[in-house]
Amino acid sequence: QCRLIGLWRNEQDSLMEISALRDNGDFQGKYLTQVTLSGGCAHISPLKGIQQQPGEGGWPTFAFTVRWDKFSNATTAFAGQCFVDSGGKETLTTMWLLREAVGSLKEDWKATR
């Protein structure tokens, strides 16, 4: 069984720590990104999410958001699934969508990556 609680590192050396997972699937933690829009120093940002109920079978799917409010006016939403290989190694796969604030509706086209 895959457990989201713990420390995770991605290919960019960003770190995510999920510190609390409730029985209903809600979780929270923090994210330390090594990739920033401004090219500045990385900061720890809060994350909140939810995972598929563990009793529903299969490897859990999950989604979470990260609020980059300490250094950027942007929010990122991640959705993914946890897998366990035959050796017991857990891997999270995700897709993300980043929304950056823009000054007008005319600039909306460039706000989402």
Q: How many other CB atoms sit within 10 Å of the CB of residue 33?
A: 21
Two structure tokens written together for 91: 């891997």
| Closest C-alpha among 97, 103, 38 to residue 71 | 38
Domain residues of the chain, as ranges? Answer: 6-110
Give the pLDDT score at 50.
95
Which CATH architecture group holds 6-110?
Beta Barrel (2.40)
Q: What amino acid is encoded at 45 in this protein?
A: S
What was the pLDDT predicted at 44? 85
Q: 10-residue block means of pLDDT along the chain (113 residues)?
A: 87 88 92 71 85 72 87 88 90 92 94 91
CA distances from 31 to 65, 93, 103, 106, 109 (A): 10, 16, 27, 31, 27
pLDDT at residue 94, as a whole number: 94
Residue 8, burial from CB neighbour count under 10 angstroms (0-12, 13-18, 19+) = middle
Return the pLDDT at 59.
81
* H helix intervals, the chain: none
